[in-house]
């Protein structure tokens, strides 16, 4: 979820890596399509005139988060693959635990939106979507049973 202070690059780095590939479409639109239109609005005329010049810079900027997002998704897959039992899960930090749960849901076919930038117990940790249904998940990573109200 976008929060105050989030910028476009932060948001794109949290999306799947292929979302940044949209920059190719932005390049084509700015470089070739928008200049073809005749606009009456002076601002749009300026954009159409500047489009070919700013197209490479805009596309490059939008493409920057793709490798970050790509390697982050690989890291999360490895994180889930490395878990062998509850003891290995207990060794994770609270943030890694949230990422682990998110990756497990991704593998079950859910679309997962993680709550980036908020500390532990900052509210809803994951928003899951599947078949048009929204599920909200709050993770609790107790390392011992004494922290669990139902376990004592």
Q: What is the DSSP secondary-structure string of 2-24?
A: --TT--HHHHHHHS-GGGGGHHH
Shared domain check, 61 and 13: yes
Q: What is the pLDDT along the chain (152 residues), one digit of tens a residue?
A: 455 556 877 777 877 888 887 888 989 999 999 999 999 999 999 989 999 999 999 888 888 888 888 999 999 999 999 999 989 998 999 899 999 999 999 999 999 988 876 666 667 899 999 999 999 999 987 766 555 555 54
Question: Could you tell me where the beta strands, DSSP code E, fall in 58-98?
Answer: none
Q: Is 135 part of any domain?
A: yes
Task: State how far the Cα of 152 lies from the Cα of 147, in Å rounded to an integer.
Answer: 8
**Segments forming the whole domain that contains residue 49:** 8-65
- Residue-wise DSSP of 59-117: HHHHHTHHHHHHHHHHHHHHHHHT--SHHHHHTS-HHHHHHHHHHHHHHTT-EEEE-TT
Instruction: Mention every residue, 6+ apart, whose C-beta is less than 8 A from residue 77.
Output: 103
Number of domains within the chain: 2
Contact (CB, 8 A) for 92 and 78: no
Does the predicted model carry a pTM greater than 0.85?
no
Q: Is 73 part of any domain?
A: no
SS3 call for 55: helix
Q: Is 117 part of any domain?
A: yes
Q: Is 71 part of any domain?
A: no
Tokens standing for residue 143: 């390392």
Q: Is 48 part of any domain?
A: yes
Tokens standing for residue 47: 């954009």
Residue 14, pLDDT score: 78
Measuring CA to CA, which residue among 70, 125, 82 is closest to residue 101?
125
Residue 5, pLDDT score: 55
Domain C-terminal end among 23, 45, 65: 65
Measured in whole angstroms, the distance separating CA 89 from the mean position of its chain's CA atoms is 23
């Amino acid at each position: 979820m976008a929060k105050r202070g989030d910028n476009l690059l932060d948001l794109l780095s949290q999306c799947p890596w292929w979302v940044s590939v949209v920059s190719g479409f932005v390049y084509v639109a700015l470089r070739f399509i928008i200049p073809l239109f005749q606009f009456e609005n002076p601002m749009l005329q300026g954009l159409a005139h500047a489009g070919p010049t700013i197209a490479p810079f805009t596309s490059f900027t939008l493409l920057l988060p793709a490798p970050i997002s790509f390697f982050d998704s690989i890291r999360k897959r490895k994180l889930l693959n490395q878990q062998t039992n509850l003891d290995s899960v207990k060794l994770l930090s609270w943030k890694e635990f949230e990422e682990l749960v998110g990756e497990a849901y991704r593998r079950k076919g859910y679309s997962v939106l993680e709550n980036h930038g908020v500390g532990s117990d900052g509210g809803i940790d994951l928003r899951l979507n599947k078949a048009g249904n929204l599920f909200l998940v709050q993770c609790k990573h107790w390392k011992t049973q004494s922290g669990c109200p139902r376990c004592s």
